[in-house]
């Protein structure tokens, strides 16, 4: 069997003044970038405790298929489970980096924890945008951010990926490509792996006896795309009304290019009690003759 090359992502500091540009350039070239020290150790610990709490309270089971993993628990719609998760979605440095890739007006697509336990096997390498019908390769329409809440190591299930595979035509790698080119995106707790959603990647095997790998995924899509999780239906309006304005906009209470997302020609934020004009693009369009 071919040996995987010893290639590791080049981490970028979250404090880098050129962060957004560097992330966008790296993602364009390699399909991914690792940003270090986005959250501190205390925040990671608090988030791990939150995941344990939600898993307990809702009786979150292990996955029931090979893709979701028989030793992995996933909590979907994290933003509805507690304020700490909501804070991550609007982390300014990550948002600026995502905007540098997707352009303005992008939306939140979904929030999911991936808690990989001992005994888990490798997940199928896949592209998160594999279901869309654009020919590959194509510019990013979706960005996945994977947050390490505990250290991600090759032994405990660090995300596996094939660098630059967002530029390939196929949706999944061949067995040979997977054996030859896959690397483990090892990263310290508090780091965020930012990926072009066409990049082939998947959760790693957890071969440890007792180490839990805690991570979560926050995905964003271009403002003209469909969100993967139905966030508008996922939380009652009266609760969303208490969220920070930026989060409301990311969920979909916003308009793209002053037209996509309107409700009877009104701005969707009016449904949350916000006094706001729709500023419709149609008001600015007129014939020149
Ligand atoms: O847990 C991971 O590292 C990645 C999981 C993943 O890619 C997925 O579930 O789609």
pLDDT of 187 reads 97
pTM exceeding 0.85: yes
Atom of ligand 1 nearest to the CA of 160: 3
Q: Using an 8 Å Cβ cutoff, are 265 and 142 in contact?
A: no
- Alpha helices (H) in 140-195, listed in sequence order: 175-181
**159 CA distance to ligand 1 middle (Å):** 7
Per-residue pLDDT tens, the chain, 289 aa: give them.
Answer: 333 444 555 899 999 999 999 999 999 999 999 999 999 999 999 999 999 999 999 999 999 999 999 999 999 999 999 999 999 999 999 999 999 999 999 999 999 999 999 999 999 999 999 999 999 999 999 999 999 999 999 999 999 999 999 999 999 999 999 999 999 999 999 999 999 999 999 999 999 999 999 999 999 999 999 999 999 999 999 999 999 999 999 999 999 999 999 999 999 999 999 999 999 999 999 998 8
Residue nearest ligand 1's atom 6 by CA: 202
Residue nearest ligand 1's atom 4 by CA: 203
Q: Alpha-carbon distance 42 to 271, whole Å?
A: 36
pLDDT of 236 reads 93
Cis peptide bond prior to 137, omega within 30° of 0: yes
Asked whether 201 lines ligand 1 (CB < 6 A), one says yes
| 11-254 CATH | 2.60.120.620
Q: Alpha-carbon distance 21 to 92, whole Å?
A: 14
pLDDT of 5 reads 45
Q: Using an 8 Å Cβ cutoff, are 224 and 256 in contact?
A: yes
**123 CA distance to ligand 1 middle (Å):** 8
CB-based contacts of 71, cutoff 8 Å, min separation 6: 62, 116, 117, 118, 119, 120, 206
Asked whether 114 lines ligand 1 (CB < 6 A), one says yes
Q: Using an 8 Å Cβ cutoff, are 231 and 175 in contact?
A: no
């Amino acid at each position: 069997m071919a040996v995987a090359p010893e290639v590791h992502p080049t981490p970028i500091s979250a404090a880098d003044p050129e962060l957004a540009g560097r992330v966008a350039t790296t993602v364009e070239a390699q399909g991914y970038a690792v940003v270090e020290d986005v959250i501190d150790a205390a925040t990671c610990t608090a988030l791990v405790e939150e995941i344990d709490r939600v898993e307990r309270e809702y009786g979150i089971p292990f996955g029931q298929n090979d893709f979701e993993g028989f030793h992995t628990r996933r909590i979907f719609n994290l933003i509805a489970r507690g304020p700490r998760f909501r804070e991550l979605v609007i982390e300014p440095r990550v948002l600026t980096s995502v905007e540098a890739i997707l352009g303005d007006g992008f939306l939140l697509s979904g929030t999911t924890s991936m808690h990989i336990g001992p005994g888990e096997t490798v997940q199928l390498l896949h592209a998160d945008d594999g279901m869309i019908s654009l020919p590959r390769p194509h510019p990013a329409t979706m960005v996945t951010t994977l947050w390490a809440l505990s250290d991600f190591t090759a032994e405990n299930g660090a995300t596996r990926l094939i660098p630059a595979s967002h530029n390939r035509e196929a949706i999944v790698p061949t067995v040979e490509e997977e054996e030859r080119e896959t690397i483990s995106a090892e990263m310290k707790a508090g780091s965020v792996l930012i990926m072009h959603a066409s990049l082939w990647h998947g959760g790693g095997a957890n071969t440890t006896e007792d180490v839990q790998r805690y991570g979560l995924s926050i995905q964003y899509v271009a403002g003209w795309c469909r969100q993967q999780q139905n966030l508008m239906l996922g939380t009652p309006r009266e609760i969303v009304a208490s969220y920070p304005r930026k989060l409301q906009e990311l969920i979909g209470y916003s308009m793209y290019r002053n037209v996509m997302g309107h409700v009877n020609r009104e701005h969707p934020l009016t449904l949350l009690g916000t006094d706001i004009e729709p500023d419709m693009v149609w008001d600015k369009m007129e014939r020149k003759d």
